[in-house]
Amino acid sequence: MLTLIIFFAILLVLVLSHEFGHFLFAKLAGVKVEEFAFGFPPRIGSFWKGETRYSFNLVPLGGFVKIFGEEGEEASDPRSFSARPFGTKFAIIAAGVFFNFLLAYFLLSAGFMLGTPTALDDADPNQSAEIKITEIQRGSPAALAGLLPGDTLVSLNALEAKKISEVQAFINGHKGQTLKISVKRGGEVLAYEAQIRSEVKPGEGALGIAMARFGVEKLSFFPALAKGLKTAADLTALTARALARFFGELFTGRSSFETVSGPVGIVGIVGDFSRFGFLFLIQLTALLSVNLALINIIPFPGLDGGRAFFLILEKLKGSPFHWKFTRAVHAAGFIFLLLLMILVTYHDILKLNS
């Protein structure tokens, strides 16, 4: 239940950030905003403030801002989106993506001010360094003992867990033996016993865990802003390359839904990150915000990128498309994306049961 609450809290932040960008830029341009919504219909509650309706809908997997004349209708009305010049319309459409990037930058900078968990190698002298279990192999001695991803290794028998190489050497040196393993979980130190495998098959581990060494990097205000900007840029570049590689493999038939996560898969990821602590959730939210921004850039009907692409086509041809055509194309794109989300969710459920 807690994982679901955290997931919807993150989703709410991502959606409100994105839609607030459209909302704010439309308001600044004097364009009428008819509705600001979290979730997709049917509507379960709403209230009015001024000329805008603020609503909560039953399907909490996104949101939208309904802007007057956004599909080309009501072009003669001065409050209509379609009555605005190209630059203003493009800025309103692009504002959602911009605010998602802005959110990622803000979260990463705030993380550095609070103290961001940073991956370290064994040679790093950072005094805050800890070894965390990042993965547990199914059916392994660690799984049978009750260890969980997110646990911080404290000690194995008398060995204090400070370096990954020392922990690995200690485990390999005690094959077939029972180890007393102390871990920190939620501020509490817990003790477990695990029977280490005497023979290790390919793809298995003697204990069956993956580990990473983390330390805290804490910066003052201005260095945190600079490091947050660099990290956001690096994260955007890495994510863009990963998405480009995925779509490249998709078109050549070398990709599959096994590498994609929908809402159900993301709930699992949120659950894993929540075990590592609040600061890891900040980093995850920043990553998801960058992903949302980059996906929305794709020039596909129903996405911001598709709407921006239509604007560019209209600019090149010198006249707008008929609003009925625009509405039909974007509606078809939205339905396709909804079906795709359902298909990805189905594969997420299959992966859970596998």
- Asked whether the predicted pLDDT for residue 7 surpasses 70, the reply is yes
What's the pLDDT tens digit per position in 29-65?
999 999 999 888 889 999 999 999 999 998 887 889 9
Cβ–Cβ under 8 Å, residues 276 and 119: no
Give me the pLDDT at residue 94, please: 96
pTM, full prediction: 0.85
Give me the pLDDT at residue 257, please: 62
Pairing verdict, β 130-136 and 209-217: antiparallel
Render the burial of 200-238: b for 16+ CB within 10 Å, e for the rest.
Answer: eeeeebbbbbebebbbbbebeeeebbebbeebbeebbee
Give me the pLDDT at residue 259, please: 64
Give me the pLDDT at residue 263, please: 72
Give me the pLDDT at residue 258, please: 63
Average pLDDT on 269-285 reads 86
Domain boundaries, the chain: 2-115+227-353, 118-217
Top pLDDT among 196 and 1 is at 196
List, in order, residues 6 or more apart from 257 with CB less than 8 Å away.
343, 344, 347
Cα–Cα distance, 301 to 54 (Å, whole number): 25
Q: Which residue has the tokens 């959606």?
A: 15
Average pLDDT on 204-208 reads 91
- Asked whether the predicted pLDDT for residue 103 surpasses 90, the reply is yes
User: Which two structure tokens, joined as six digits, stand for 287?
Assistant: 């990553």
Cα–Cα distance, 99 to 107 (Å, whole number): 12
Q: Greatest CA separation found in the chain?
A: 81
Q: Which residues are catalytic?
A: 19
- Asked whether the predicted pLDDT for residue 127 surpasses 90, the reply is no
**118-217: CATH class:** mainly beta
Q: Is 100 helix (H, G, I), strand (E, B) or coil?
A: helix
Q: What is the mean pLDDT of the chain?
A: 89
Give me the pLDDT at residue 285, please: 95
